[in-house]
Chains A and B, each alone.
Chain A
Amino acid sequence: MAELDTSGGGKKGGKVRSKKASTRVDLTAMVDLAFLLITFFILTTTLQKPKAMDLAMPDKDDNTKQQLPVKESSTMTILLGSNNKLMWFVGIPGKTPPTQDNYGKNGIRKSLIEQAQKIKAATGEDMMVIVKPSDKSVYDNMVTVMDELNITGNTKRAIVDITKPELDLLIREKLY
């Protein structure tokens, strides 16, 4: 489609004039190529940077003197078991029957909101949540629980190592 000016040169005799070529170049192919490359770069770039969630762990130092006692009635313990299942109970293990639950908005989130309201009404304190991942749980489970705590607006939480009686609970319910 490139156009070439072929006019002129019709006269006989006189000076021989060099043909004047048009400066217009067909850019269609170039535009095609440019858009092809744009498409490629749009599809390959990751515009969404990975996000980070802050996590504060309780100090493990043995000689810390500052230890605040937490009421058992205002403590909710979440045990993370295998096969994307979890278990929670309020208070100390064995005294209150644990409830099996799953991750997600109708599972642990609902329980978190309900228990927080109950505890707030009964003791007037904010609920303390202790997350105890067992060795059979996966990293995704831990992140999901911490995320649910963020969503439900819980600020008092901690990740603590699981203990033997709690492990027995999980084994009994076949979640370990």
Chain B
Amino acid sequence: MSRVKVARKSTAIDMTAMCDVAFLLLTFFILSAKPKTQEPIPADPPASTATFVIPDTDFSTLTVGQGKVSFNVQGDDVRRETLMKIGQDNGITFTPAEIQAFATTESFGIPIGNLKQYLSLPGDQRSKFAQTGIPVDTTQANSELAQWVHAARVVNGSLHGVDLKIAIKGDGKEEYPTIHKVIVTLQKQKVNKFSLITSLKTVTK
């Protein structure tokens, strides 16, 4: 009996196609990934069943956490003009470098008085700067938060011609009085409609 010889095949497989697919997917994920913006004040929003997706432009977020408030408005151009307006109103002149630094800062929680000092710091030291939050004093006629919101609304209206949408991103554990102060500040400017940023949950029946 002659033994049947099994033909030996090479174990090497052509990896070219697999490599192509892998890199295609990799490119997709790199391009679709949005770099995580550094929040000066950490806030973990509570969950709700609301499904309205927040827009990318003409949008402002007030983050509330640990009794502090930070402010953010979308768009470099809006941020630049807002800072110039705040500077004018408070008699502070910002250098072009400081304005540029502000335009690239997503969110901040610093009183106007300390802003110049913060913006003149080099980039890597800025993250170590203690963010004490924007002062919110509802007894004052024009608190700093009110000034920021007002300036951003005016600037956004003149630049884009669209009303600025304002949202509150509060930490779930934040005590109500802090949130209440922010809401009162907004209502003083006749902003009676705004959004609350929440994370998604499904309805339990």
Q: Report which A residues bind B (CB closer than 8 A).
A: 1, 3, 26-28, 30-31, 34-35, 37-38, 41-42, 44-46, 48-61, 80, 105, 133-144, 146-147, 150-151, 159, 161
Task: Write 22 A-B pairs (CB below 8 A) sorted by A numbering.
Answer: A31-B15, A38-B26, A44-B33, A49-B53, A50-B45, A50-B199, A51-B198, A52-B52, A52-B54, A52-B198, A53-B50, A53-B195, A55-B194, A55-B196, A56-B192, A60-B184, A60-B192, A133-B176, A137-B175, A138-B173, A138-B176, A147-B50
> Does A49 lie within 8 Å of B54, measured CB to CB?
yes
A55 touching B16 in the complex, CB below 8 Å, given contacts A146-B48, A150-B49:
no
- Min C-beta distance of B203 to chain A, whole Å: 6
B161 within 8 A of partner (CB):
no
In the bound complex, how far is the Cα of B18 from the Cα of A30, in angstroms?
Answer: 10
> Does A140 lie within 8 Å of B12, measured CB to CB?
no
In the bound complex, how far is the Cα of B50 from the Cα of A1, in angstroms?
Answer: 55
In the bound complex, how far is the Cα of B36 from the Cα of A83, in angstroms?
Answer: 33
Tell me whether chain B's interface is mostly helix, strand or loop, or mixed: mixed
> Does B173 lie within 8 Å of A51, measured CB to CB?
no
> Does B46 lie within 8 Å of A143, measured CB to CB?
yes
- Min C-beta distance of B200 to chain A, whole Å: 5
- Min C-beta distance of A132 to chain B, whole Å: 10
Q: Report which B residues bind A (CB closer than 8 A).
A: 12, 15-16, 18-19, 22-23, 25-26, 29-30, 32-34, 36, 45-46, 48-54, 64, 167, 169-180, 183-184, 187-188, 190, 192-200, 203-205
A138 touching B172 in the complex, CB below 8 Å, given contacts A105-B204, A143-B46, A146-B48:
yes
In the bound complex, how far is the Cα of B47 from the Cα of A150, in angstroms?
Answer: 13
Contact of B12 among A3, A53, A58 (CB under 8 A): A3
In the bound complex, how far is the Cα of B172 from the Cα of A141, in angstroms?
Answer: 8
> Does A80 lie within 8 Å of B29, measured CB to CB?
no
In the bound complex, how far is the Cα of B172 from the Cα of A147, in angstroms?
Answer: 14
In the bound complex, how far is the Cα of B42 from the Cα of A157, in angstroms?
Answer: 30
Q: Which residue on chain B has the smallest CB distance to residue A53?
A: B50
Contact of A37 among B26, B187, B193 (CB under 8 A): B26
> Does B22 lie within 8 Å of A31, measured CB to CB?
yes
A147 touching B49 in the complex, CB below 8 Å, given contacts A45-B33, A57-B192, A105-B205:
yes
- Min C-beta distance of A79 to chain B, whole Å: 12
Tell me whether chain A's interface is mostly helix, strand or loop, or mixed: mixed
> Does B15 lie within 8 Å of A45, measured CB to CB?
no
> Does A52 lie within 8 Å of B50, measured CB to CB?
yes
In the bound complex, how far is the Cα of B30 from the Cα of A49, in angstroms?
Answer: 17
Contact of B34 among A37, A46, A54, A143 (CB under 8 A): A46
In the bound complex, how far is the Cα of B176 from the Cα of A18, in angstroms?
Answer: 82
In the bound complex, how far is the Cα of B48 from the Cα of A56, in angstroms?
Answer: 16
Q: Which residue on chain B has the smallest CB distance to residue A33?
A: B22
- Min C-beta distance of A151 to chain B, whole Å: 6
Contact of A41 among B29, B179, B190 (CB under 8 A): B29
B54: which A residues are within 8 A, CB to CB? 49-52
In the bound complex, how far is the Cα of B31 from the Cα of A41, in angstroms?
Answer: 10
Q: Which residue on chain B has the smallest CB distance to residue A162?
A: B176
A53 touching B199 in the complex, CB below 8 Å, given contacts A38-B25, A60-B187, A138-B173:
no
> In the complex, given contacts A38-B26, A46-B36, A49-B54, what are 19 additional A-B residue pairs having Cβ atoms less than 8 angstroms apart?
A26-B12, A27-B15, A34-B23, A34-B26, A35-B22, A45-B32, A45-B33, A50-B45, A50-B199, A52-B167, A52-B196, A52-B197, A54-B193, A59-B187, A60-B184, A60-B192, A135-B176, A139-B173, A151-B203
